[in-house]
Structure 1
């Protein structure tokens, strides 16, 4: 058995929130997700930590004692905290002046929360995740001008984050304007031009880049592609990862069946499948290597942890302990194949 202990293996809390709520199923409580994560075990290996969505009702950023409460809960279960999702959607990176100010303010609150967790000893690594909080349709009304405005907002957010020693990672999802294709994503990151901006790759969401959803002009796989053709899929993945890997500072392990999906109020994006889904297009352990290794096959060691992301599953799936054991098993295989010992 592999003795690799890096990258650390994290679960995520936001799947208990994303796509849930009044127009879908009930939110899964933070404490329930924490307990199921801590209980997961495969051949004596357990999760090392959690990545957290700083979203209500899980997290109240206006409570001055919230970081202490969360730190105590994580420590009780012997879990570290890694990357944080900033709740920037009350604003918009290409919105009005007030909306852009709200966006940056939420990044500030998130970075302050992250610093508190560091000071409390439960967070040693990780980034703060952002997106444009703007739809593809709205962006398309003025692609050049809107991308420039998003980049300017991101620059302001980066400057705020730098004051807390934080890096911001923009997640590649087809539902966010200026981030909905691999080429637009690279263009945006280059335009932001800050040392503390990077890319958060998600194996499910980012795979949709190869298929040209919402950006057919940047499609790599043909429209009628056979997704069971592994050589075609691998070639497409190589094109995307070669472009985005140099920017990648955070990584989500995930499965995808090549379709889009949304639930509740969440726009459609790459469908997350269960780790054991027989319809999954990806070979999880193999395809993670496109992100974790460079073009020569050498480990990049660009981040100290990896996180599972599986949003918009029914609560019946997410409240089953076997689901989390299966996820952990998939994560272990990734670390066995592409990890290291330190």
Structure 2
């Protein structure tokens, strides 16, 4: 028997680390999509390779306004490297043409316009045969500082916007996944995220994207101390308390989870622009990492009885903000692929 006997969930790398946080200094220019695809396709562990990539619909990788010819060329780029496309990120934020989901009518219209464009691209990539699974990822595009000025009104407004986005997704037979990241208003804690999901109330179209790095910070209550499960000075050597906290968190959010990011986190935060106190991703083997990646992924990928859920047909590595010299090393991606395989080995299946 192969030492990696499972074929699902499929293993994806993220292309957006080539764009996010890049271009601000000469040492870390944007890494082109072709190069990110090559780095992904070259990785290999025990004869296994990445199955695909998740994409950011943002130039210069993939324009949210890409036409059919550009999407056909994208499909060929991916297909020629024996990869698939999974979840795609819609650029719903104001600087990229969108607007706040809790903002003015004009901002909401801009937000929904980006969602529609993302769904249209997602559908076309499915029709081109390179996207067999995956969601359209979004968030509230509203900072926590703005949200707390009027929590109830803003939460209601965001929920209404997400309901309208769900109606758009239905037109294209797509699903929307809201990323649980603590920098976004209305989504900055696990309780607020559950509240928002319940208010939207469209589980067939609107669900949760769990990122292991970001959801670890849900436990600590950064940006929402009232919802903390663990103290911010928690002793991470206390495995029993950590396990109990993860069980409480995943019990609440796992029923909504339709997309999953494998990641590592050292339980610290940093902020860049609108990303206020967001998670600091680490390499999978970082000695400061607080997650046991394969074990802790199981809190999300198995149900209360320990049975594999098979809800997420693919999982994605979401490490980003690494320096380019790290990202250009083949061993970086081999180590990441090995971590992904450990999750598939522990919680995977065959079809």
Q: TM-score, normalised by structure 2?
A: 0.95
- Secondary structure of the residue that 1:211 maps to in structure 2? coil
What is the deviation of 1:266? 4.3
The residue number in structure 2 matching 1:82 is 86
How far apart, CA to CA, are the structure 1 residues paired with 2:108 and 2:336?
Answer: 37
| Residue equivalent to 1:247 | 256
For the pair 1:54 / 2:57, whether they are aligned, the reply is: yes
SS at match of 1:67: helix
Cα distance in 2 for residues equivalent to 1:152 and 1:266: 23
Aligned to 1:110: 118
The residue that corresponds to 2:147 in the other structure is: 139
Does 138-147 or 307-316 show the bigger shift?
Answer: 307-316
The residue number in structure 1 matching 2:333 is 324
Q: Deviations over 1:52-96 (max 9, x none)?
A: 011111111223122111101000101000001000002110111
Shift of 1:154: 0.5
1:263 positional shift: 4.7
**Are 2:210 and 1:210 aligned?**
no
After superposing the two structures, state which structure 1 stretch, 199-208 or 20-29, moved more: 20-29
- The correspondence of residues 251-262 of structure 1 with structure 2, limited to 5 A, is 251-262=260-271
RMSD of aligned residue pairs (Cα, Å): 1.2
Give 1:198 deviation, angstroms: 0.2
Check conservation: 1:199, 1:244, Cα contact below 8 A.
yes
Of stretches 320-329 and 220-229 in structure 1, the one that deviates more from structure 2 is 220-229
Q: 2:24 — aligned with what?
A: 22
Structure-1 separation of matches of 2:320 and 2:271: 9
Give CA-to-partner distance per residue, 1:226-255, whole Å, 9 cap, x none: 022222211111111010000000000000
Stretch moving more, 307-316 or 280-289: 307-316
Matched residues in 1 for 2:64 and 2:135: separation? 17
Whether contact under 8 Å (1:136, 1:214) holds in the other structure is yes
Q: What's the CA shift for 1:262?
A: 3.7
- In 2, Cα distance between equivalents of 1:155 and 1:9: 30
State the distance in 1 between where 2:303 and 2:346 align: 14
Q: Among residues 282, 305, 310, which one is paired with 1:301 in the alignment?
A: 310
Contact 2:211 2:262 in 1 (8 A): yes
Equivalent positions of 1:1-342 (< 5 A) are 1-22=3-24, 25-64=28-67, 65-90=69-94, 91-194=99-202, 195-263=204-272, 266-342=275-351
Which ranges in structure 2 are unaligned for 5 or more consecutive residues?
Answer: none
1:318 Cα shift? Answer: 1.1
Cα deviation for residue 261 of structure 1 reads: 2.3
1:274 to partner: Cα distance: 0.1
Question: Is contact 1:21-1:264 (8 Å) kept?
Answer: no
Residue 268 of structure 1 aligns to a residue whose secondary structure is strand
Distance in structure 1 (CA, Å) of the matches to 2:267 and 2:159: 29
- With over 3 angstroms needed to count, the CA separation of the structure-2 counterparts of 1:183 and 1:170, relative to structure 1, is same
Distance between the aligned counterparts of 1:11 and 1:196, measured in 2? 24
Contact map agreement 1:23 1:265 (CA 8 A) in 2? no
CA contact (8 A) 2:4 2:341 kept: no
Q: Secondary structure at the match of 1:257?
A: strand
Question: C-alpha separation between the residues in 2 aligned to 1:309 and 1:265?
Answer: 19
Q: Is the 8 A contact 1:212 1:220 kept in 2?
A: yes
